[in-house]
Amino acid sequence: MTKSRHILFLLLLTFLLNKLDAATCISLNNGSWTSGSTWSCGTPPVCGDSIVILAGHTVTISTQLDYTSCSKMRITIYGKLKFVTGNKLRLPCDAALYIMPGGSVDPGGGGGNSNTIEICGDVMWNAGSGQYTGPGCMPATQPGCGAILPIELSSFSGTVCNTDKVCLKWETATEKNNKFFDVQRSSDVSEFVSLFNVISKAPNGNSTVKVSYEATDQNPLNGVSYYRLMQVDNDNGYSFSKIIAVDIIKEKNIKFVIYPNPNSGEFTADISGLENDHQVKILLRDLTGALLYESSFYTSDEKKNIQIVPQSRLKNGVYICSLYLEEIEYKVKVIVNTAG
């Protein structure tokens, strides 16, 4: 193999490895960036991953992190990214870091340039700048930076309805200059697409009383759909709500939903779309395939909500709950977060 071909081979191999390793890593609890138990992907984030720190979680960087040889990394912070003195987070040139309303980057005990976030070799933030609170993003040229939510969103939820649809509900406590809500959906919490707009019910977009909204996703994804609201004001400024997740199985009009999800280790399986007197089996396994719970029964009108309580307390992490019907397996990812 010539030298040039050898270099091309290495570049191609690096690209493929990056693509294979890419995942969406969502925080499960407070923890270290470099600990696999902190993340839903089961390992510390690697090249190309989309990283989400959920509200209420603090993820700590206590070592040097260098991703400059990677590509297309996305970090979205709803909780807190905290540094221990003397550490850097170096990201590739096409990286983007979003700090959502309520999210923050915390310098810990560091000052000056002791802790930094770099993108493409440029310092986007350092400890001397103090705590960075959202909304905002790095680089500042990313869409939506600096937007301040002109509404007070008191709730946002989604449930499976009419067997194979997702019903979304939200309420605002106050609205100011609000134009409409753009309902958006994603399969991986990274790339969102617009589904439809819901016009503000508030007179001229202004209200100081509770306003309720409902909308339906008529054709949700099979499996997990992630939803968020992009609120747009009359000046075309915008900002985003929190992200919610809804699980749905559409084959044969069967609904298999786990709630709450995430949970503290005990949860309910909601089954519908089955005729009575069908024999079904529910299994819960960890990511190694070890069986942690098993139940077999015949369905009836009274037995469509199954309380799942494993014999041993579940640790924080990701599990797979499976419904077996006529040798067909329907699977739902279950996230256990005892700190939640």
> Can you spell out the DSSP letters for 173-241?
EEESSEEEEEEEEESSSSS-EEEEEEE--SGGG-BSS-EEEEEEESSPPSEEEEEEEEEEETTS-EEE-
Q: What is the structure's pLDDT at 251?
A: 52
The 10s digit of each residue's pLDDT in 52-92 is: 898 889 999 999 999 998 887 889 888 999 998 788 999 99
User: Would the pLDDT of 8 be above 70?
Assistant: no
d(CA 109, CA 189): 31
The 10s digit of each residue's pLDDT in 21-56 is: 457 888 988 999 999 889 988 889 988 888 989 888
**Among 288, 285, 286, 284, which Cα is nearest to 268's?**
284
Question: For the whole model, what pTM was predicted?
Answer: 0.46
Query: How many residues comprise the chain?
Result: 340
High-pLDDT (> 90) share of the chain, %: 23
Domains in the chain: ranges and CATH: 3-138 (no CATH), 151-247 (2.60.40.10), 250-336 (2.60.40.3080)
Tally of CA atoms within 13 A in the half-sphere of 173 that contains its CB: 5
Q: What is the structure's pLDDT at 306?
A: 85
Contact 97, 81 (CB under 8 A): no
The 10s digit of each residue's pLDDT in 152-210 is: 778 888 888 877 789 999 998 888 889 999 999 988 776 789 999 999 999 988 888 89
